[in-house]
Amino acid sequence: MRNATGEVQNVLVLGGRSEIGLAIARRLITPATRHVVLACRRPDDADAALAALARPGLEVRAVAFDAAATAAHRRFVDGLVDEIGDIDVAIVAFGLLGDQESIDDDPDRAVPIAHVNYTGAVSATLHVARRMRAARHGRIVVLSSVAGERVRRSNFVYGSTKAGLDGFAQGLADAVVADGVGVTIVRPGFVHSRMTAGLKAAPFATTPDAVAECTIAGIRRGRRIVWAPSVLRWVFMVLRHLPTPIWRRLPLG
């Protein structure tokens, strides 16, 4: 739980090798932070992430977590809280991008993307929220995407999962606020990262560190939705309302 001055003591990153998730976690760490838990499918591959967060007196560890294994999420969250105490901040940062052309050729490839990005995220986040509501404090940071604000044809399976996750997170924010729990929804644009390596960058492309800076600033200002970069808020105020024939002709995919 937070200490007497409100500093974060326990941080959970679901998707513990996510570059954005790690960048946010790094900015949350203070001398009061006791535990940072990186939950990922392959904890043995998290050495670099662990080293980047290491601080004297801070326990940073990677633990096994499978977003697709929804039946295990309750046990995972409850076991972690019982061991380290209340989670002050949970960052929901896992996801699969996929390739739309490959999905068009083999629709079965859409299933794990939909399951992990939406079903897995809903399951894990609700279990975290359940424990935060019982403790009557905590913040959940949900990494959404502008891809879900108006879904593009070039990645409509991925975009649709982010649209669903974004809507879920907005509803969750309304449901938990009376219990002292906050939800911050982060909508990055194109982010230069391992996930997007080799892809053509979209306008207003950004970096994990820049997204993290926007996120922390948004949390401090009490924002429910954070655009990264912030200019995308105004861009999508226009794009959201474009007539479909014009939207389809834009070179956005």
Tokens matching residue 19: 């570059």
Looking at the annotation, which residues are catalytic?
158
Q: How far apart are the first and last CA of the chain?
A: 44
Q: How many Cβ atoms are within 10 Å of 149's Cβ, its own excluded?
A: 22
Please give the backbone phi and psi of residue 7, each rounded to the nearest 5 degrees, phi first: -80, 145
Please give the backbone phi and psi of residue 77, each rounded to the nearest 5 degrees, phi first: -65, -45
125: left (phi over 0), alpha (psi -120 to 50) or beta: alpha
DSSP E strands, 169-244: 181-188, 225-228
